[in-house]
Structure 1
């Protein structure tokens, strides 16, 4: 479940000494005063130079190996007390030849492993100027570490690695704003959850001028008995340009649903075949079209799914799901064929869940034919975990906030629970190992069971608490020592189900990683896999692994296929983890803990012809 390090980890390289000032100070450094540059220390004397200029301090960065070149500013005594203000701001001018990203970090004293800082970033075009603001307790616009503004120990201002010279002027550095200030949310980051999924209909208040993007069509909103309707009329000779319904601001967050249902009627003079699709910043869904032309006066429900009809086969060819459910930018409504007298009245638009039908074979056998034998299965019906199959200890590479504890793998009621909770303790319950504030479970078959090729499947119930990252995945295990678990040399990481709770209950990620996790690392996959939990809240995720081919299933439906000679050819183990965080998640909220990732059963099969293949084939 490898992921590139996030901003908090990247900032560690700039940690510096802890030093202070007069608590009434608002301007931290008079950057236009002679000698101001002496208060800004380069974090790399070979790459970063600091000089005075009439309008402030100039920071010049030469190309080089430093990934975060910049300056460190420390108070003259121990800490700055900025508790009378709500944010720290720096005036910036990009004096370099290319687009520049500048990051500012405001630190508290303390253990760097807990990332005791707030951050923000700003992009500037050449010659561009702006003010970068860090709000105490926030990383950009998202809540972060609970920074104490009365204990600011240092400020870091830096850029990233570049093959060409970079430079910027610092024209001011001051604290400002009221205490407890909250950062403004950029318009494109606003997320609106429609109440009960309703976007147009009874009680809605769409604004035709700002929320109905037309291209020559006549669009009219009306209200009858408190229910809004939308009439779209196409001009004679006009093509099938769709009308776009858009949020009043930002994007819709449709994380609780899997489709948009539009109820409309034809109030025109000719038959039309209306169609609907959903759109997000990352891509669009498939067009959903009325099954037949709609006669004047007739009505129809059209369901536009989030999931595409095509199966993902390559991240570069546009196959598979492109729509992102928590960032829906528009619902598009069109009608064919072109002609005079085309008009429809939209009577309701609502995000919805479709009826669910699960295939009969699910959980009973693999999805393809052959001479299959079940080689692994655990229903978790006993009172204790089967130690001959499972282990609950091991290294934690994924979560710096948490530690593994055997007490957080809980069996009972025919399921096993991987639990996250706010409970301080030592990793693996070993007093000699590091201590952290969050306990979490870990379940895997390393040193117990591994298999090369076959079909692997689990039935799982995902948690709903924000900020969690449950996953069902596989890693190489060649046995012996050395590169036993390396994803290089024929190894591969399979993320069969990788979920971020901020995405809602119906979406997860599938990914593959290989050739290590360094500069040779490669990966592919799709983060828009949609699957509806069953009536008990469970999802079944599966992987068919054959030489040169990986086929992934969600509730028995093929959702992703990867065919490549580089597909792993060494045995792999089963793993269940639930760290905090993730690359696109909502912040962790202690009030929602404890939270459980529930596994009902795990099963694996082997096919006779696959078992007979020699090593490396």
Structure 2
């Protein structure tokens, strides 16, 4: 089971989740499955190719080859077969990385010593530091104001032999600590500290040979760039979303819409339609419109998402990069809440899947589409909750699906039915036109998940496709024509998490509840970033809250702080957390220290919010909040401990 699958299916598992995360700013093995092929590197992802005098494209000198394999079947060959020029391969990361690790596998392509060059550039395209290797015995690290001053040199007569086979090269750089180190096959061979050097990276380029037409070159493979916190230490990236997916919808293996409970602060309801990703950012939108969320009527809508049930961690470094507009009414935040893994009776959690197959149906355009479900029984009383969710993975089968292998759902629900009174035989109808239209343009299969996700402890049962009477079975009515499921199944957690219920005559929806998020007994609300937009784009609060929100409530933090504006309006907010210590950061600079045994001592989950209003009446929303965006560039979490 993959790490992300494990995180998702352990929704209700009482463990601290700190598994390695595969998400990186860049990761490629130059494989055909990634879109690389001989002569096609220039059209692949972030790469561009030129010659070192700027003339031509150099395509013939740079290729992906299959003859030399490292961990995969293809490698990148950069070769000097041009009489006057050295081919240069440039990678644009698409964002600035102020601290991180560049890893790559490297070996020389011929028996002769081959010089190679690795240069790093900032967002202004100015060289900031680099590596120069003569291929025989020395590697130099350069930096300084122009990026060309030699800062340190490694000399070893066996370097020629080392590079005759695959060697692992690792470059660690950190703008906040003004330093860098270079590891060769796991051993540190170079390190430098230089305040005059800009260690922040946007691009890097690679070249090899001498421009002498001698066919000297190097092979590269397994190249990646992984971000690091702005602190020295030993770090493992455990969670990351760079929001670079080509999909506009959220990754349901990482995020759910809403908090642990059915609630949002402020004057705007939580509308999943306000959440999307595009062009490498997460967009949280506010709107002026009437909306009902969790039984409460609002005149505005905002957005809130979290990792509850999907990811939680105790200790480490948590970070977001975000921006928001300077208007009155917005209340954006990045924060943590306790998640002790206390979820009540695990066997009391149920979801249900349905699949409809429209292949063969004579549908060219969807004018209307409704999902119809008939209630068989329901717990009476206030507070029940039903979500209708999109599932884009249709590979599940009625006889094989279980709680533990269920497909990932889109967390932005199609519809919500809250606090309803249901009678046996009552038919519920949900408009699913948009999703059916999307699926009709694809594989023409429509999978839908029925769930609660807000722990309302109210059971609802529907008749399944196995019920003897067809009139009460689930239906998908498209353009007035009724289609019945080709597959459906309930899913049960706990002791039945690996059991299939595809043959049962009822579909069940229910969540249980446990006191997992209390801010008493070691718990805390950790506001890593919280702003009231009327105070400006360059201001924020960073605050700790504990012991509830009533008479016992206590808090500590920065109060209102203002910081240096940035060119694009983005700021990076973080918290370092270890036993008895919590430190807040803005743009890599420490802003507040809470050194106290009352520091949060239980695992926490992540929340991203665009709430409206806030505690200051001066930030009251109005017409000006309509169609405003708070944008998030990334969310990253590491486990580890800082070092001096």
Q: Higher strand fraction: Structure 1 or Structure 2?
A: 2
User: Which protein, 1 or 2, shows the higher relative CO under an 8 Å CA cutoff with sep ≥ 6?
Assistant: 2
TM-score range, shorter chain: 0.3 to 0.5
TM-score (norm 1): 0.39
